[in-house]
Structure 1
């Protein structure tokens, strides 16, 4: 993902926050927290992962589908890659 190199530090920071949120879920389960508390934590993790996915999808679109100068084959390949990920993600 060379096109992400400019924002890699931001993405890594997001991943670390997500890891912290997953750790909070683990701690809540180990502490026998209420189902409601655990569900709220899991929902927060899901939202954070969805936000990360949105960011990477946007970067992919800009770099591999809509960037000026791409030829038709490059655009089609970029679109196909994105479609495969979206199909897998939506299952």
Structure 2
């Protein structure tokens, strides 16, 4: 079964590898006792990068899985409820 995000799989994996590198960089910065603001700046960049990956997958899910369920009236409310729960998770802060 192919998921809607599969068409962007290469881009998503590239972004995630970059995030992985950023996390390793922060680990090294902590080992080196770097200044707090430098760490926080890098952590903010990681947060933003993961948010962009998540939004890309959320977009694919909405345009793929949710739209398909609505179009075919198959578990339409279930998919919308599922989507709303994911959106709630993103807006918790």
TM beyond 0.5: yes
TM-superposed deviation, 1:19: 0.4
Q: Is 1:38 matched up with 2:35?
A: no
Q: Which runs of 5+ in 1 are unaligned?
A: none
Looking at structure 1, the residues matched to 37 and 70 of structure 2 have their Cα atoms a distance apart, in angstroms, of 51
| Higher RCO structure (Cα 8 Å, ≥6 apart) | 2
| Consecutive aligned runs of 4 or more in structure 1 exceeding 4 Å deviation | none
Q: How does 1:1-91 map to 2 (within 5 A)?
A: 2-67=3-68, 70-91=71-92
Q: Which runs of 5+ in 2 are unaligned?
A: none
Alpha-carbon contact 1:64-1:74 (below 8 Å) kept: no
After superposition, give the CA deviation of every residue in 1:2-53 in whole Å (9 maximum; x if it has no partner): 2222211111111101101111111111110000000000000000011111
**Secondary structure, in 3 states, of the residue corresponding to 1:33?**
coil
State which drifts further: 60-69 or 47-56: 60-69
Number of residue pairs aligned between Structure 1 and Structure 2 = 91
TM (normalized to structure 1)?
A: 0.84
